[in-house]
Amino acid sequence: EGNMIPSLVTLDSSIPFLREGYSFISSRCDKLGTDAFRTRIAGRQVICMRGAEAAALLYTSGQFTRQGALPPNTLRLLQDKGSVQMLDDGHHRHRKAMFMDLMSEDSVSRLKDIFEGAWLDRAQEWQEPVILHDEVRLILTRAACQWAGVPVSDRGAETLARELSRMIDKAASLGPGNWWAQLRRNRTEKWATELVERIRSGTVKTPAGCPASQIAGHRDVDGDLLTAKVAAVELINLLRPTVAVGRFIVFAALALAEYPRWRSKIVSSGPDELEAFAQEVRRFYPFFPAVGGVAREEAVWRDNRLPAGTWVLFDLYGTNRDGRVWADPHAFTPDRFRNQEITPHALVPQGAGDAGSTHRCPGERITLELVKAAALLLSTTDCHVPVQDLGISLRRIPALPGSGFVLMPRAPLR
């Protein structure tokens, strides 16, 4: 009975979750001496879980679906019906293979080159203090569009950057902010749907084999084209999270400001140091707090039967800081990645398991390469970081330093 899943005394955890944010699950697990507990969120029974074993259950067992696993408002902003995340089994693997194809080494390095060019272009305009988060989102939007083969004007890129950012900013909020973002999402979707239709009809010419035309031309398991709407959702599924990498880039800038020896270290040391730095940024800083899953059949957690329909929330943030896996988990220590093997269920900022066959994020290489490129650019740029609110509130999902990270270019930039 030592493995029984305890229940919280509180009837409903919606308010405590919103109030505490990232540490909600792990602080309760710590207090109860458990890796799983039962509670209610929005009136619905849920089991909150953390740790590598829970990661394996939610991702690798194949017993959990994402259908019905997120509050509907969040779903509309982040994924949507018909998207890869909502598929299971053969349909999922087939669609996922399309995403994995877009993440080849060549494709990722092309994106990285475009991103560096877009950064240097924009940085020439930095004459006075800038908010890095705003700048980098615009740079990433331009780069993602060029990489994907999506034509946008300068003005269009600014609007799109704002729309994609809002979907991320407001995903965890309720009320007017979320409604506003929903409205914008509808506009973005309409734009993307028209784009897919025009690519298909040939009225928009895209470079052969570019991600946008691959998505527009993708056929499902039965050999049918995706509806234009679903193809549009998947195109947004490529652009939105690429722009979201801007949060990790701001965290990388913060890490470089707080641990300045890493600036010279990544400039003068080899690629392993840079990779370790980017991995630690992903492990250490808060981004996705948790992911949900619903059991499709009876599943077993230690000695507990979880009947079909059981709703589970898996704690990404707490798992990345699990002291059983990570020594001194609350310290920023990139060197840990030079000595420790990364297993598929322990480092989970972007999900767990094998990307091709589970819901693990297909965009981890993109994320790592963009964070690395930005860290190098930041370390070689002479910029001053003025006094500002660099604090990160764990109550605000998604998290960011209060100021958005203000940078002041010091020397005229090339």
Q: Determine if 317 is a binding residue for ligand HEM (CB under 6 A).
A: no
| Interacting residues of 312 by C-beta distance below 8 A, sequence separation 6+ | 46, 47, 48, 49, 54, 57, 58, 64, 292, 293, 294, 295, 306
Q: Determine if 211 is a binding residue for ligand HEM (CB under 6 A).
A: no
| Span from 5-13, 46-54, 335-343, 347-355 in contact with ligand HEM (CB under 6 A) | 347-355
Tokens of 306: 């979880």
**Shortest separation between residue 95's beta carbon and ligand HEM, angstroms:** 8
Tokens of 195: 């784009």
**Spatial distance between the Cα atoms of 205 and 309, rounded to a whole number of angstroms:** 46
- Exactly one of 334, 362, 404, 409 binds ligand HEM (CB under 6 A); that residue is 362
Angle at 158 between CA 153 and CA 163, to 5 degrees: 120
- Exactly one of 350, 369, 374, 409 binds ligand HEM (CB under 6 A); that residue is 350
Binding residues among 128-187 for ligand HEM as defined by CB under 6 A: none
**Shortest separation between residue 362's beta carbon and ligand HEM, angstroms:** 5
Binding residues among 239-298 for ligand HEM as defined by CB under 6 A: 241-242, 244-245, 248, 287-288, 291
Nearest CA to 48 out of 298, 284, 287, 306 is that of: 306
Residue nearer to ligand HEM on the CB measure, 346 or 409: 346
Number of residues that bind ligand HEM (CB under 6 A): 24
Q: Determine if 238 is a binding residue for ligand HEM (CB under 6 A).
A: yes
| Ordered alpha helix ranges (H), 176-270 | 176-201, 211-217, 228-258, 261-268
Q: Which helix (H) or strand (E) holds 383?
A: strand 383-384
Residue nearer to ligand HEM on the CB measure, 5 or 102: 102
Q: Determine if 372 is a binding residue for ligand HEM (CB under 6 A).
A: no
Q: Determine if 319 is a binding residue for ligand HEM (CB under 6 A).
A: no
Backbone angles phi, psi at 137, to 5 degrees: -70, -40
**Shortest separation between residue 258's beta carbon and ligand HEM, angstroms:** 21
- Exactly one of 28, 50, 66, 372 binds ligand HEM (CB under 6 A); that residue is 66
**Spatial distance between the Cα atoms of 20 and 29, rounded to a whole number of angstroms:** 14
Residue nearer to ligand HEM on the CB measure, 188 or 350: 350
Name the burial class of residue 38, with classes exposed (0-12), middle (13-18) and buried (19+) by CB atoms within 10 angstroms of its CB: middle
Backbone angles phi, psi at 175, to 5 degrees: 90, -160
**Shortest separation between residue 128's beta carbon and ligand HEM, angstroms:** 28
Q: Determine if 363 is a binding residue for ligand HEM (CB under 6 A).
A: yes
**Shortest separation between residue 85's beta carbon and ligand HEM, angstroms:** 3
Q: Determine if 210 is a binding residue for ligand HEM (CB under 6 A).
A: no
**How much is the CA Rg of the chain, to the nearest whole Å?**
21
Nearest CA to 365 out of 226, 257, 242, 266 is that of: 242
CA 58 distance to own-chain centroid: 18
**Shortest separation between residue 22's beta carbon and ligand HEM, angstroms:** 13
- How far, in Å, are 42, 48, 158 from residue 310 at the CA level? 15, 11, 42
Residue nearer to ligand HEM on the CB measure, 23 or 388: 23
Residue nearest to ligand HEM (CB): 363
Residues forming contacts to ligand HEM in the complex (CB under 6 A) are: 66, 84-85, 96, 99, 237-238, 241-242, 244-245, 248, 287-288, 291, 349-351, 359, 361-363, 366-367
